[in-house]
Amino acid sequence: MHRIFVIYSMPYYFNYVNFCSVKRSDYENESQIDREKDDNQNETGLAKSLTLSSGVSIIVGCIIGSGIFVSPTGVQEQAGSVGLSLIVWTVSGVFTAIGAYCYAELGGDYAYIMEAFGPFPAFVRLWIEAIVVRPCTVTIVALTFSIYTLRPFYPHCNPPEGLPELLAVLLIVLMTAINCISVRAATFVQDVFTIAKVIALLLIITTGMILLLTGKPQYRDSFENIFEGTSRDLSTVSIAFYSGLFAYSGWNFLNFIVEELQNPKRYHNTSMFFPQSILWSTNV
C-alpha cells in the first residue's frame, strides 16, 4: 500500500518541484530586470535629446561646406569629360556610404586605431585630434566666415588689420556659448544653416537645369558626347577622385554625438542613409 502511494504521488511531487523552480526563476529574472533598471537609472551620461531629423541635419550640415562649391572644378578639370565626372561623383558617393556604415560598426577613429595598432597610437591620435586638428579646423572656418562677411563693407580694399580675427573670435565664442546653453539651441542653429545650404544648392541645380534645357546650345554641347576628352592618366583621375571624396568629408561626425541620439540602435543607420542619399543626389 505504501509502495502504491509513492508511485502515484511521484508525478505530483515533480510537478510541484517544477512549479516552484519556475516561480523561483521568474522571481530571479524579475529581480535581475529590476537591478538592470536601477543600474540604467543610476548611470551618468549625456541626455538623449537628438531626434532622427536632428541627426540627419547634423550630417548634411557637416558635409555641405566649401567642398561641394570648390570640388566640382577640380573634378571636371582632372576628369576631362562630363561622363567621367559623373562616374567620379557616383563612385565617391557609394564609397563614402560604405565607409560610413563600416565606421559606425567600428566605433570611430579611436576604437579602430586601438584595435589595429594598440592603445598608445590611439591615445596620441585622440589628443592630436582634440588639441590640433579640430581647433585649427574651427579657426579656418571662422576666419573664412569673417572674411566673406566683411567683404561687402570693404569692396575696394582690405578690412582693417585685426578685424577679421576679432570677428572670428567673436563667432567662436558665440557658437561655444550656444552649445553650452542647450543642445536644442545648438541643433536649432544647425538646422537653420543646413536648410540655408540645401536651398543654395537647389538654386544652383535649378539654374543649371534651366540653362541646360532652355539656354544657348553651348550649354548642351558637352552632353552630346559625354566621354569626349576623358583623361587616361591615372594620376589625374586619382586627383579627381580625391576632389570628389573631399566634397563628402564630414560623414563620420554622427559617431561623435551618438550618445545624445534617441534610440541610436534604430536611428543611427537611418541618420546615415538619408544624408548620403540627399548628398549623392545633389552632388551628382
Cα 176 from chain centre: 20
Q: Of 39-48, 61-70, 147-156, 198-207, where does mean pLDDT reach its minimum? A: 39-48
In 3D space, the residue among 284, 241, 280 whose CA is nearest the CA of residue 79 turns out to be 241
- What pLDDT digit, counting tens, does each position of 181-206 carry? 887 888 888 888 888 888 888 888 88
Contact at 8 Å (CB) between 238 and 25?
no
| 211 in any annotated domain | yes
| 258 in any annotated domain | yes
| 266 in any annotated domain | yes
- What pLDDT digit, counting tens, does each position of 152-189 carry? 898 888 889 899 999 999 999 999 999 888 878 888 88
- DSSP-assigned letter for residue 42: H
Whose cell is 533598471? That residue is 37
> Residue 248: how many CB atoms within 10 A of its CB?
25
pLDDT higher at 280 or 180: 180
| 43 in any annotated domain | no
- 40/31 Cα distance (integer angstroms): 14
Percent residues over pLDDT 90 in the chain: 7
Contact at 8 Å (CB) between 135 and 109?
no
| 15 in any annotated domain | no
| 124 in any annotated domain | no
pLDDT score, position 124: 92
| 228 in any annotated domain | yes
| 85 in any annotated domain | yes
**Residue range 2-29: average pLDDT?**
41
Domain that holds residue 185: 52-115+180-283
- What pLDDT digit, counting tens, does each position of 65-95 carry? 767 777 888 888 888 888 888 899 889 888 8
Q: What is the mean pLDDT of the chain?
A: 76
- State the total domains in the chain: 1
Strand partners, 50: 261
